Structure 1
Amino acid sequence: MPAERDDAIGQVTTETGTVVHITPKELRHIAAAAFVGTALEWYDYFLFGTAAAIVFNRLFFSALNPTAAVLAALATFGVGFAARPVGAFLFGIIGDRVGRRPTLIMTIIFIGTATGLIGVLPTYTDVGILAPSLLVLLRLFQGIAVGGEWGGATTIAIEHAPAKRRARYAALVQVGSPAGTLLSSGVFALVLLLPPEVFDAWGWRLAFLAAFPMLLVALWIRLKVEESPVFKELVRLDKRAKVPALDVFTKSWRRLIVAVAAAFLGVGGFYVMNTFVVSYVTNTLSGDRQIVVNATLIAAVVQIGVILLFGRVAEKIGPGRVTFWGGLATAVAAWPLFALIDTNSPVAITVAVALGIGLLTITYAVTGALLTELFPPEQRYSGVSLGYNIAGALSGFLPFLATWLINASGTTASWPAVVILVVISLITAVGGIVGERLRVKDQAIVFEG
């Protein structure tokens, strides 16, 4: 039974002919809730990455030599990524069994609390080895919670959206990433204006403590969100899988591999061009840390424009094709980008970071749209979360790997980062073109509007 056409509303038509009406106001509220939560998620993650490159090496790993301290801080950053698939598995089950809405409320509470507590941690000078141990523990909690956050935010946004507008609503969730970058880099840029001794003593803590009021705002918005009509219908039809995450591995493992490949550049490439570059310029090239942090701010503004543009493009040509071309473009640009960075020129570094992050964001803009259409509704929360976060786990140690290879080579050449960026770009290009062919176009629950 087809849904009636009404330009004033979005309509969700189920396989039994049930029509659910969603007003534009409700759609905007869903998009806002997904965006705010994702912005807080990435504020926390980007903040940790920046702090790992600039301050954690000196305050939490001060017993090590400078190079080992940087590596240890970046390894701690990577630990959070290793925990993300665990969170994706656990929260994916809850999201596909209990509901999208309660799961998203749980994850945002865990993320904001873990980040805020980092701001009150004692340093190595205060309590010795307990300090880095507590830092790693909170990072693990962060990673587990983030493992269920993005997939749920994307799923609930897509499941409220009309079919022809899915890509733009998925893109709105992705805008939370550069918004989080702007917040974290902006806060860090401000606290870096403090005298060095003040920054080391307590200034850096302000950025983490700010997570508490942000959490309250995000939670207030999310509590107003209605449950996904798709999930309600799954419950009514008794179509929920017993252990959906296991079904993804046993029944949809090929789609999972494609999802991981398609998401790889959007996650891993960003941390090469952001976290690694901040560390590389600051510690290897002895450049001004303020310049490279400011460059990430400019790149975040570029990201917002790219995400909104290619969210619309994906509605015309398909998210898989956008992913393919974005991956190829980033692979071609990898060497010129790092050639600019190696000049240690403030202008060249800023251009390289903004352009590099802008290029890889082409794929990131449509990751949500592509991944949600790779999995059927009863596996969607789990499949999207696992695909995205396995990619995150594989890419979380890339800044560490690039730094280690540079130190092992005995030079300051950036070729390891170039090779890494090219490889992950090509993997994502392949994932995009294969994913376009595998998109679920005959879903049991169809959106029309």
Structure 2
Amino acid sequence: MQASENVEQNVAAESGPVKLGSHDAGRIARAAFVGTALEWYDYFLFGTAAAIVFNRLFFTTLDPGAATLAAFATFGVGFAARPIGAVLFGYIGDRMGRRPALLITIVMIGVATGLIGLLPDFGSIGLAAPIALAVLRLVQGLAVGGEWGGAMTIAIEHAPIEQRGRYAALVQIGSPVGTLMSSGAFALVLLLPPSDFDAWGWRIPFLAAFPLLLVALYIRLKVEESPIFQDLVKLENKAKIPALDIFRHAWGRLLVAVAAALLGVGGFYIMTTFVVSYGANTLGLDRGLMVNSTLVASVVQIPVTILAGRLAERVGPGRMVFWGALATAAGAFPLFWLIDSKNPAAVVLAVTLGIALVTLAYAVTGALLTELFPPNLRYSGVALGYNIAGAITGFLPLIAIALLATSGGASWTAATLLIVISLITAVGGFFGERLRVKDKELVS
């Protein structure tokens, strides 16, 4: 790792100083946030639908347990595609610019999500239905593989260095807003009679992706290219094959990035996708209650994200990741004890607290990852680190559900899983704080 660190510091130094101003930083970060919120809205819809729709309508020839496993396997396919998207869009972002990569990703995921709303179910076209569902999920995964890393990179590279924590957190708010939108959409259509919900109601949240795409695309078109990337162009300091350079020379930093991002992705899906399925299918709780608990958690997540971003500017993003991960590990068993009580208020409290704890690390993941890689490898490094973590943890809901069978439906297996990924992320935060590479800056 030491050799990797020296190489990266040398590359960072070659890029020279860039001129950054604070007057446009907020506008760029808000534009990145809007696009990211749509991306996560589209992506999270699939997670909720996997728990309460796809298992019944697209895998109907299987018994209920196997159908749920199949639905979550399809959900995980999107995560497996994300590292491929990170390599592809990382190349575009580091070679051709952050802006064009972000425009392509938002169109891809918006169209794929809308098309899911038009898919016939298994009863209409048979095996072609789950196959088409998996293909569209792959397209989503490829797009998200480039979206988050690009949005975070362009927001950070427009921000003054001493204020990167708050602007990184602003982009991260796209996650709870996306969850709020997707959970809210499903909460509304769940008010329909079950027959109407199954026939057409579940499709409405997916079809809404089409008009939302037009809004987000309009906003993204107004975003200027990163000044740091423009500086790289002038200095002719762009990497030829960024992903290859990372694996050759910055593999140590990549491992740290993956570890640091693990909890923000995996912990979130344990506390939302898995918990919704666990509550509804194992504990027999009302589906509306489980979805509404994620709504409440998303509202609370927004101020927690802002607070964590500000704290990161004081103590460092790596330290925030470290302490947030340890806090999540400490709370894992108590959270699931509350859920197992089947008390509606306790369930909502558990999901809300769980998401809040995970957010302490997740809110500042972007600030940490962008400072692990120099500008000419940044888009690729950030995207790869985050999305390899996503590929690893995307199957956690599936694994957690499979482990339920071995424990007779007891939640201790899921709590243990949450503790393990929390401790790995704590290690990532600890080393990440010590490996940060800062850009040189001239503040206007």
Matched with 1:364 is: 362
| Pairwise CA RMSD | 1.3
- After TM superposition, the structure 1 = structure 2 runs for residues 13-92 of structure 1, keeping only pairs within 5 Å, are 19=19, 22=21, 24=23, 26-92=24-90
Q: Is 1:419 aligned to residue 443 of structure 2?
A: no
Deviation at 1:277, TM superposition (A): 0.2
Q: Is 1:260 aligned to residue 255 of structure 2?
A: no
* Paired letter, 1:358: A
Cα deviation, 1:185-227, whole Å, max 9, x if unaligned, reads 0000000000000000000000000000110000000000110
Decide which of 145, 151, 171 is 1:147's aligned counterpart. Answer: 145
Matched with 2:3 is: none
TM-score of the pair, normalised by structure 1: 0.94
Deviation at 1:31, TM superposition (A): 1.1
Matched with 2:304 is: 306
- After TM superposition, the structure 1 = structure 2 runs for residues 50-449 of structure 1, keeping only pairs within 5 Å, are 50-409=48-407, 411-441=408-438, 443=439, 445-446=440-441, 448=443
Deviation at 1:446, TM superposition (A): 2.8
Taking a change above 3 Å as real, the CA distance of residues 186 and 238 of structure 1, as seen in their structure-2 partners, is same
Deviation at 1:17, TM superposition (A): 5.9
TM-score of the pair, normalised by structure 2: 0.96
Taking a change above 3 Å as real, the CA distance of residues 17 and 52 of structure 1, as seen in their structure-2 partners, is closer
Deviation at 1:19, TM superposition (A): 3.6
* Paired letter, 2:269: Y
- Partners of 2:25 and 2:390 in 1: how far apart? 29
Question: Do the aligned partners of 2:114 and 2:210 also contact (CA within 8 Å) in 1?
Answer: yes
- Partners of 2:401 and 2:17 in 1: how far apart? 56
- Partners of 1:217 and 1:43 in 2: how far apart? 14
* Paired letter, 2:125: V
Taking a change above 3 Å as real, the CA distance of residues 199 and 317 of structure 1, as seen in their structure-2 partners, is same
Question: Do the aligned partners of 1:161 and 1:447 also contact (CA within 8 Å) in 2?
Answer: no
Matched with 1:4 is: none
Question: Do the aligned partners of 2:267 and 2:421 also contact (CA within 8 Å) in 1?
Answer: yes
- Partners of 1:317 and 1:33 in 2: how far apart? 27
Matched with 1:5 is: none
Q: Secondary structure at the match of 2:158?
A: coil
* Paired letter, 1:277: V
- Partners of 1:157 and 1:323 in 2: how far apart? 20
- Partners of 2:441 and 2:61 in 1: how far apart? 58
| Structure 2 unmatched runs, 5+ | 1-12
Question: Do the aligned partners of 2:19 and 2:442 also contact (CA within 8 Å) in 1?
Answer: no
- Partners of 2:419 and 2:391 in 1: how far apart? 18
Q: Secondary structure at the match of 2:111?
A: helix
Q: Secondary structure at the match of 2:232?
A: helix
- Partners of 2:15 and 2:50 in 1: how far apart? 49
- Partners of 1:31 and 1:322 in 2: how far apart? 21
* Paired letter, 1:327: A
- Partners of 1:408 and 1:419 in 2: how far apart? 14
- Partners of 2:166 and 2:331 in 1: how far apart? 26
- Partners of 1:68 and 1:352 in 2: how far apart? 27
- Partners of 2:156 and 2:356 in 1: how far apart? 24
- Partners of 1:390 and 1:447 in 2: how far apart? 34
Taking a change above 3 Å as real, the CA distance of residues 170 and 23 of structure 1, as seen in their structure-2 partners, is closer
Question: Do the aligned partners of 2:332 and 2:415 also contact (CA within 8 Å) in 1?
Answer: yes
Q: Secondary structure at the match of 1:159?
A: helix
Question: Do the aligned partners of 1:100 and 1:156 also contact (CA within 8 Å) in 2?
Answer: yes
Question: Do the aligned partners of 1:162 and 1:447 also contact (CA within 8 Å) in 2?
Answer: no
* Paired letter, 1:209: L
* Paired letter, 1:91: F
Deviation at 1:254, TM superposition (A): 0.2
- Partners of 2:400 and 2:15 in 1: how far apart? 50
* Paired letter, 1:210: A
Cα deviation, 1:321-349, whole Å, max 9, x if unaligned, reads 00110000000000000011111111110
Deviation at 1:45, TM superposition (A): 1.2
Question: Do the aligned partners of 1:81 and 1:143 also contact (CA within 8 Å) in 2?
Answer: yes
Deviation at 1:412, TM superposition (A): 1.9
- Partners of 2:276 and 2:399 in 1: how far apart? 15
Question: Do the aligned partners of 1:181 and 1:296 also contact (CA within 8 Å) in 2?
Answer: yes
